[in-house]
Chain A
Amino acid sequence: MKNNYIKFLTSGILTTIQDLRRKGYKKYGIPESGPLDKKSAMYANFLVGNPLKNEVIETTFKGPKIKFYFNCYISITGAESNIKLNNKKIKINKTISIFKNDILDIGNIINGNRNYIAINGQFDINLNFGSLSTYEKILIGGIKGKRCKKNDVIYINKSNKVPLQVINETLIKRYDKKNYTIRIIKGPEWNILTKEDKKELLKNKYTISSQSDRMGIRLIGKEMKMKKLLNFESCHVFRGVIQCPKNGKPIILMNDCQTTGGYPRIAIIAKKDIDLLSQINPNKTISFKIITLKESENLISYSIRKEKKILI
C-alpha cells in the first residue's frame, strides 16, 4: 500500500532499523547486529501483534521526530524518555493508536540509553541476509544500509487490527539506579587474571564510558594487570564477552562486535543481564558478581516462565 508511510522530520542521534533475524552469518564475519536491548524490542513487537523478531526502530539518547501518514498502531519501550505525541507527553510500554498526521517526538532521555518503536506490520524494505538489521560498515539493512536520516520515508505493509495491551509492571525494568550488579560467568581465560586482579574486578565499581557504542561497552575503573600472555590466537567472541586487552581495561562486546578476537575472554555476562546492561547510562557504575552456568540457566528459565504467564 503506497499510502502507508512514515517520515523522519528529524533524525535523532543514532536511529537505526533493527530486527532479531540475522542469525547464521558470523561465519562470514558478519555480526548479528539487531537491538541491543532485545527484550524491549520483543515487548514492543508484542504490543502491536507483530512476530517478536520483527523489525523495530532503535533510537539512541535523543530520538527522532516521526510523522505518520496513515492510521496504525505503534508501541514504544525501553528507556525512560520525554516522549510526546502531538506535543502531549505520553506513557510507554503500551499499545498506542496512531491517526494520520500524528507526530511522535522521542525527545531527550531521562534514564536508559535506547528506545524501541514498533509499528503493526512489516517495513517495505529489501532484506539483506534475511534481515533489516542495520550494519553500516558493509551497508546492509536499514535504509540503504544506513541509519535513519531527516526526510527518510519508510513504507509499511500494515497488518490487522490489534488489541490494545500493556506490558505488566513486573516485566518493566527501571534504569534510574546509580549502580547495578551485573552477573558474570567465568570465561575460558579467567585464569589469565592474577589473584589480585580477580579480587579487584569483583570488589570495585566500573564506570560506563561515554566511548561505548553498539560494538562494545568500555569500562573505566581498576585495570587488570594480568599474567604474561604467550601467543594468544584469535578465538570466538560474541555479545556479552568481556575482553581484556593489553591496557587492562575490560570491554564488554555487544551486537556489532567483531566475530573473532585476539584478546583474552575473562568472563561472559549472564544472558539475563545483557539487555539491562545496554541501558545503563554512561557515567553510571556497575559491579560484577560471579555466578555459575547452572545459576545463569535457572535465571533464564525463570524469566521465560514468568513471561509466558504474563504475555499470553
Chain B
Amino acid sequence: MFEIINIGDSFISVNFIEKKINLFEISKQLEKSNIKEIEDIVCSNSSIGIEYDSDSTNYKTIKNKINNHLQSLKINSKKKRTKIWTIPICYNKEFALDIEKISKSTDLSKSSIIKIHLNQVYRVNMIGFIPGFVYMKTLNDQLKISRKKNPRLTVPKGSIGIADNMCGIYNIKSPGGWNIIGRTPLSFFSIYNSPPIKIKPEDKIQFKKINKKEFFKILYEK
C-alpha cells in the first residue's frame, strides 16, 4: 500500500503505490495524530513528505510511529466529497503569453487549444514550489508540451500555465517556466488569510472562458 523512506536525516517520504488514494485526507489525519516530532507535512504527486525534529527523535522511532498511525487509518479508495472550483480564465492574447508557441508545438489552432483546455475537470494534486502555486492533473494529451527552456523572469500573477501533463496557476508574480495559456482575475492566495490559500489538494477545478471586458470587471470588483 505504501512505502516509507528517509530523505536525509530529518525528512520522511511516504510513497503510495495505490494511485487513487486521497493523499490530502491522509495528511490531515497525520496532523491530528499528535506525533509531536512532526514539524510539517507536504503532499506531492504520489507521496506525503514529513519533516521531523531530528534533535528529539530518530528515523527508526518516528518511522514506526507514522507507520502505526497510517495502519490504523481506514484508508479507502473512495474519495470524499471535494470542492469543485469554477475558475474564470481569459485567453485573450495579452494574457495568453505562450499561445503561439503552444499552437506551433501541438499543431492545433488557438480555438482548438482553448476548447480542449476547457473541456476537462482537473484534480489538484499539489500546492507548492512557490507560495500558492496550484498544480493540477491531468492535461489532455493533445496539449502536452515541455517546460520552456528559458523560463520567464516574471510571470504575471493569475497566469495559468501548462507543462507536461499538468496545468498550473501562478497565484503570485514569480519567475516561471510553464507555458502561459491565459489568466484569471481571481486571487486565491493571501498572506492575511489562514490558511493562506483555500484551494487544497484533491479539490477539482473547471475553467470557464471569459472575455477581456469580464476579466477587468471581476478584477476591479474584488
Tell me if A137 and B174 are in contact (CB < 8 A): yes
Q: Please measure, in the bound complex, the distance between the C-alpha atom of A271 and the C-alpha atom of B43, giving whole angstroms.
A: 23
Q: Please measure, in the bound complex, the distance between the C-alpha atom of A27 and the C-alpha atom of B48, giving whole angstroms.
A: 10
A118 at the interface (CB under 8 A from B): no
Tell me if A188 and B7 are in contact (CB < 8 A): yes
Tell me if B191 and A293 are in contact (CB < 8 A): no
Tell me if B191 and A128 are in contact (CB < 8 A): yes
Tell me if B191 and A139 are in contact (CB < 8 A): yes
A234 at the interface (CB under 8 A from B): yes
Tell me if B39 and A23 are in contact (CB < 8 A): yes
Chain A, interface size: which category? 35 or more
Q: Please measure, in the bound complex, the distance between the C-alpha atom of A154 and the C-alpha atom of B130, giving whole angstroms.
A: 29
Chain B residues whose C-beta falls within 8 Å of the C-beta of A27 in the assembled complex: 27, 40-43, 127-128
Nearest CB in chain B to that of A27: its residue: B42
Within 8 A of B (CB), among A184-213: 185, 187-188
Shortest CB-to-CB span from A46 to chain B, Å, is 15
Taking A28-B195, A235-B44, A236-B13 as contacts, is the C-beta distance between A293 and B59 under 8 angstroms?
yes
Tell me if A260 and B129 are in contact (CB < 8 A): yes
B135 at the interface (CB under 8 A from A): yes
Give the interface of A toward B (CB within 8 A).
23-30, 32, 128-129, 137-140, 145, 185, 187-188, 231, 233-236, 238, 240-241, 258-262, 265, 268-271, 293, 296-297, 300-301, 304
Give the interface of B toward A (CB within 8 A).
5-11, 13, 27, 39-47, 49, 51, 54-55, 58-59, 126-133, 135, 147, 164, 172, 174, 189, 191, 194-197
Known: A137-B130, A188-B7, A236-B42. 10 other contacts (CB 8 A): A26-B40, A28-B131, A28-B189, A138-B191, A188-B13, A233-B46, A240-B10, A259-B128, A259-B130, A296-B9
